[in-house]
Structure 1
Amino acid sequence: MSEGPNGAAAGADALAGRFSQMFGALAQNIERVIRGKREKVELALICLLAEGHLLVEDVPGVGKTTLARSISASVEARWGRIQFTPDLLPSDITGVSIFNQGKNAFEFHPGPIFSNIVVADEINRGSPKTQSALLEVMEERRVTVEGTPHPVPRPFMVIATQNPVDMDGTYPLPEAQLDRFLMRISMGYPDHQSEVAVLAGQPTGAMLDTMPPIAGRDDVGRMIEFAERLHVAPPLYDYIVRVVAATREHPELRLGASPRASLALLKASRVRAAAAGRSYIVPEDVKALAVPVVAHRLIVTPEAELRGRSGADVVGEVLSSVPTPQAATV
């Protein structure tokens, strides 16, 4: 006997409930190390489960690398770190083919990019040629070396960091690369109580070494697949496209968001809905994620920049101007 509509909905709700429990357990585990940053932790997990990449733009010492390590420890994932410097070569990231005399053949030796969680530390200190080594793998989840494609493991996530204050000896990320990051966030300083708790607690390194894994890679894969199947009502597809398209017509922008931004916003909204225990997305999911997903893809005009305007300001205006679908239609 086939399952009726009510039974299918109940099954989806039950799966969403389990998704929400696992998501909450992961966030709580990471919060043992990253204190007082629940919102940032949840955004990073949304990025992971939407199979996206995260750009963390902040000053040194606020936990950017620790966030990546704690995520990889929580999901039994392999993590790799790449310290970007001006003399870093693309092969230092992707790997090289070395001739094996015993086998009389070339063997591929993978680079640090072949990890589940890759920390690209101070990515803007790498030369444009080196930065471009990430373009293919961030979009297609594979690396091509000497004409041979090599897939990276799943889940795969790049967490890149950059310091917005110290700009000496840096190369700004090109728009094509910024567009490949699903989100850009700023960690920010912890509040007073959280910083006191950090001082009174154990050293971060010791805590990371003893963090228990909450989920395996297979569990994460199932969460990713579930989120991809979440129901989206047609008016919400229309709403996402209207929000993104409105940035292309905004007078304070030189460059609006591309269709990739629409896809990213949809993926992230599905994960946020599942994390809330829902089997469907609502307009609030889109609104909550629009700034971290869309703002970094925008380029404001010089005149607007002089007035202190930012991409985040424009996204906020767009959300206020685009009509929100009514509950009855979604």
Structure 2
Amino acid sequence: MSDKNDSGARARIAELQARMGEAIIGQKDVIERLLIGLLANGNLLVEGLPGLAKTRAIKALARNLECDFSRIQFTPDLLPSDVTGTEVYYQSDQGSEFRFEPGPIFANIVLADEINRAPAKVQAALLEAMEERQVTVAGKTHRMEPLFMVMATQNPIEQEGTYPLPEAQMDRFLMHVNITYPPVEDEVEVIRLVRREEVAAGAASEGAAQAALVVPVPQEAVFTARREIGAIKVADAMERYMADLVNATRVPGQFSEDLERWIEVGASPRASLALDKCGRTHAWLAGRDYVDPEDVRAIAPDVLRHRLGLSYEAQGENVTPDRVVEEIIRHVALP
């Protein structure tokens, strides 16, 4: 791509990535997926055990980007209006009226923490905002900001008292990102990082002065990057490759006996669109103006793992969605 692009939006996004890397040790893939979700204008579902920096990651993004950030802690007693906002009755000398009081969903970056702890009615309150980028309350439609992303987290092991996300909502997430334990070397760095932060917090005035010097990356850098990503070239053969990968989830018997046994429900066309968006964004982050097969293969697990309905046989054999995606990539011919 041109030097102008390299010194402009890409430089600002690289700066944002570097800042996030300073706050999060050992989760480079997660940082990259967060940026892909932001630049591809999508929403992310992040799954991992407690203490693996899920919340820290999204906070690091929000802290270093010019944006409004809100965090919604999902609990069983949460109401839809607690998320979207509600009409409030006001009375004054001039008369009375209903005014809309926006909920926490009206922010640039929204952290939906432990989303599977709230009932389906509350989860559904996110659907319109995530898909249509608007909220309708009392018959009135309220638009979201141009920069808007929901990052939802969930814990894979604590299932008691939780409400599993329905397939319709899962499909609305651009990617499903898994966070795993960091290597021992990185965990040592985490210990040192947290110790430094504790020392800095002790010197409150000095820390405040340093924080004031950090200038967040402007939103315009994101919008410029999105325009450049929209110009990334995708060859006809690459488009067919992405469509073939998704189609393999629908006709698995044409590729292997194992896939036919494992897959019960294939991915929707949203998967093809997500592969295209994320593939172009991955190529842009790598400094290329075209998509190659490695871009698609790199993001395929994140795009497909939550869109596959596995059979009871696959679950009985402990076959994971990632294993299925790996098998699909192995059987689908390259362009």
TM-score, normalising length: structure 2? 0.89
- The equivalent of 2:304 in structure 1 is 294
- The equivalent of 1:52 in structure 2 is 42
Deviation larger for 108-117 or 192-201: 192-201
Return the offset for 1:20: 3.6
Q: Quick one: which of 238, 244, 253 aligns to 2:246?
A: 244
Q: Quick one: which of 10, 27, 33 aligns to 1:37?
A: 27
Deviation larger for 179-188 or 132-141: 179-188
Q: Quick one: which of 271, 274, 278 aligns to 1:264?
A: 274
SS where residue 98 of structure 1 aligns? strand
Identity over the aligned pairs, expressed in percent? 43
Matches within 5 A, 1:158-177: 158-177=150-169
Matched AA of 2:133: R
Q: Does 1:142 align with 2:134?
A: yes
- The equivalent of 1:77 in structure 2 is 67
- The equivalent of 1:328 in structure 2 is none
Q: Deviations over 1:192-245 (max 9, x none)?
A: 222222222323795899393452112111112221222211111111111101
Distance 1:167 1:108 in 2: 35
Q: Does 1:203 align with 2:203?
A: no
Q: Does 1:274 align with 2:267?
A: no
- The answer (yes or no) to whether the contact 1:256–1:299 under 8 Å persists in 2 is yes
- The answer (yes or no) to whether the contact 1:25–1:214 under 8 Å persists in 2 is no
- The equivalent of 1:188 in structure 2 is 180
- The answer (yes or no) to whether the contact 1:16–1:279 under 8 Å persists in 2 is no
- The equivalent of 1:254 in structure 2 is 264
- The answer (yes or no) to whether the contact 2:41–2:148 under 8 Å persists in 1 is yes
SS where residue 180 of structure 1 aligns? coil
Return the offset for 1:23: 2.9
Q: Does 1:312 align with 2:314?
A: no
Q: Quick one: which of 92, 96, 101 aligns to 1:104?
A: 96
Q: Deviations over 1:132-172 (max 9, x none)?
A: 00111111111111111111112111111111111110000
Return the offset for 1:24: 2.2
- The equivalent of 2:226 in structure 1 is 224
Matched AA of 1:235: A
Distance 1:18 1:281 in 2: 21
Matched AA of 1:308: N
Distance 1:242 1:48 in 2: 26
Matched AA of 1:26: L
- The answer (yes or no) to whether the contact 1:142–1:151 under 8 Å persists in 2 is yes
Matched AA of 1:218: E
Deviation larger for 115-124 or 97-106: 97-106
Matched AA of 2:69: W
- The answer (yes or no) to whether the contact 1:84–1:124 under 8 Å persists in 2 is yes
Q: Deviations over 1:98-142 (max 9, x none)?
A: 122125221110000011111111100000111000111111111
Return the offset for 1:18: 4.0
Distance 1:213 1:254 in 2: 49
Deviation larger for 126-135 or 36-45: 36-45
Aligned CA-pair RMSD: 1.9
SS where residue 35 of structure 1 aligns? coil
Return the offset for 1:284: 1.0
Distance 2:322 2:15 in 1: 30
- Counterparts in 2 of 1:19 and 1:282: CA distance versus 1, 3 Å: farther
Return the offset for 1:298: 0.5
- The answer (yes or no) to whether the contact 1:182–1:293 under 8 Å persists in 2 is yes
Distance 2:122 2:16 in 1: 33
- The answer (yes or no) to whether the contact 1:83–1:120 under 8 Å persists in 2 is yes
- The answer (yes or no) to whether the contact 2:48–2:179 under 8 Å persists in 1 is yes
Gaps of 5+ in 1: 1-9, 326-330
- The aligned length equals 315
Q: Deviations over 1:227-278 (max 9, x none)?
A: 1222211111111111101111121211111000110110011111111111
